[in-house]
Structures are given as structure tokens and as C-alpha cells.
Amino acid sequence: MKLKNKVAVVTGGARDIGRAVCVKLAEEGAKVVVNYFDDEADRDHTLEAVKGVGGEAIAVYADVTKQQDIDNMVAKTKEAFGDKIDILVNVAGGLFARKTIEEVDEDFYNLVMNVNFRSAVFVTKAFKPMMGKGGTIINFASQAGRDGGGPGAFLYAASKGAVSTFTRGLAKELGPQGIRVNALNPGMIATKFHDDFTKDQVRVNVANATPLRREGTATEVADLVAYLASDEASFLTGNNVDINGGLAFS
């Protein structure tokens, strides 16, 4: 219970890694705001999973690319848990499609950059006034932000590279206020993301090239989030932490 009585907000919290993060934080004692977007069944499953570990959570709909929805999420958080949060985890993101530079148009560019990068900036801006000394922000970048991503993922990779740099800069800005900012760079994690956008044989090849010879799990990523959110990581800020089974080293 290393997060007992803390309040956490998790964007993209209704499924896959986001769900695992919500459940893990609740298991460690945090009260959790589960942001969801398009699937009420996923939302309900996450709330049931949090309840199953003895946790407390609310679910709040928000398109985190829209300021009005972000503001509503802030209001719902205050209504449920008060004017202070301790943990913000910016999980929301997506690849949406694999496209070459010739195939990318302005609408697709805006979609990818807004969901992956703009959301992290403006959700953080909205919730930062609710954070004090000891607060922590955890962003989700990607191994793709370091190596450029797979075929057709250059724009996704660029958006995640922006998250990495945002994390470093914000850590400098907020450090004097006692707020830590870190990011995760997941590699191949077994989620719907890769079910939708990565061919089975590619996944097998990546797993075989990984020193641990497998994909990671959402639970393993959530365990790292809980560590970074805890006082055990009190001198860690500005880091982009790799979690990829040894496929790429810092």
C-alpha cells in the first residue's frame, strides 16, 4: 500500500496498459480517476477490476484532445476526491494506421499528434495546479520515439519523441516545486495495439530478437508506473525509462 490515500488520474485508463495501471495503483492504495473515451464495456471492466482489488475509482469520459473535456475531467475529479491529486499518468495514445509519408495528410497528422502529444501537454497543464510537493507525472513515450518505429509508424514515433523531450523539459521546470516528471518507453507489449497494427510473424520475430525472448505484459508496465509514482523513486525525474526486455538499451 505504498500509495495509500493518494489520488491518481490515468488518461486512457479503460483498457490494456491503462487498465493495468489503474488496477495496480488502486492495489497500492490510490484512489483512481479512470479516463475513458469510446468503450463503456471497457470502462465497466476496469472499474470492476479496481473494485476487485479493494480499490476506489470513478470513470470520467473525456476526449483528451479537447479542452472542454479536459476541464470537465478536472471538475469531476475535484467533485469526487477533492482539490488535490498526487499522480498523473498520461497513457492515452494510438497509432491509428501505418502510413508512408506519401499517404499522410493533414487530418491524419493532426489526429496522431493531438492524441499522443497535445493531450499530454494540456492534460498536464490542467491538472498541474492540483499538484503540490511530492506530486508525480508519468508520461507514456515509446521505444519508437528512440528508434523511429516500424514501417509506416514514423509519425507515431515522432509524436512519442516529442513526449520524451516534453518530459525532460517539464522535469526541469517543475523540479523546484517538488514535482517529479518521468516517462516510460515500452517496447513490444502484448496489447490490442499490436493485435491491431502488427503482423503475427513480426511479433514473433521481435520476441525472438529480444534477450528475454518474449513480449512484455501490461502488468509489468503497470508495476513500473507504480514504482515511479511512489516515494521509492523520490530522486528520479526527467527520465525516459526503457521497458523492452533488453531489445534496446539506453
Just list the catalytic residues: 156
Instruction: Give the distance, in angstroms, between the CA of residue 190 and the centroid of all CA atoms in the same chain.
Output: 15
